[in-house]
Every structure is written in structure tokens, then in C-alpha cells.
Amino acid sequence: MNDETFNLSIRKFLKTVGVKSQHEIEQAVAAALAAQTIADGASLSATMNLKIPALGLDVQFSGTVELG
């Protein structure tokens, strides 16, 4: 295994996940605010699942997205 290639590949994957996830969250929040289904300043519970079937990896991360 080439450690440098491996680490760069992980970083590229995580950057893609981070950027795309942020975009999806921003769009969903804007739509929910416009539809008045959430309040400005809301605190939103969030979870993210990371799965790599070939490794048997299935991990869930939890946190909060604060709007205010």
C-alpha cells in the first residue's frame, strides 16, 4: 500500500463529502425556512453514516446544526 496515495485519496473523498453535504444542508434549510417548517434560529439534530462494505465499516456520526 502506498501511504501517500491512500491518505490523499481519503482527503479527496472527505473534501467531496464535506462540500456536497454542506450544499445539501444549506438548500434544505433554505427550503424549510421558506416553507416555515422550521424556525429561524432552530437547532437541528443531524446524523451521517459512513459505510465501506468491503471493509465491513458502518459508522454513524451525530451532531447539531445551529441556525442561530
pLDDT digits (tens, 9 = 90+) for 1-37: 999 999 999 999 999 999 999 999 999 999 999 999 9
Contacts 24+ apart (CB under 8 A), 46-52: 48/21
Q: Look at residue 31 in the predicted model and tell me its pLDDT.
A: 98
- Dihedrals phi, psi of 15, to nearest 5 degrees: -65, -45
- Burial bucket for residue 4 (CB in 10 Å: 0-12, 13-18, 19+): exposed
Overall average pLDDT of the 37-54 stretch: 98
Entry pTM? 0.88
3-state secondary structure at position 2? coil
* CA 28 remoteness from chain centre: 13
Q: Look at residue 11 in the predicted model and tell me its pLDDT.
A: 98
Overall average pLDDT of the 47-58 stretch: 98
Q: pLDDT confidence of 65, banded at 50, 70, 90?
A: very high
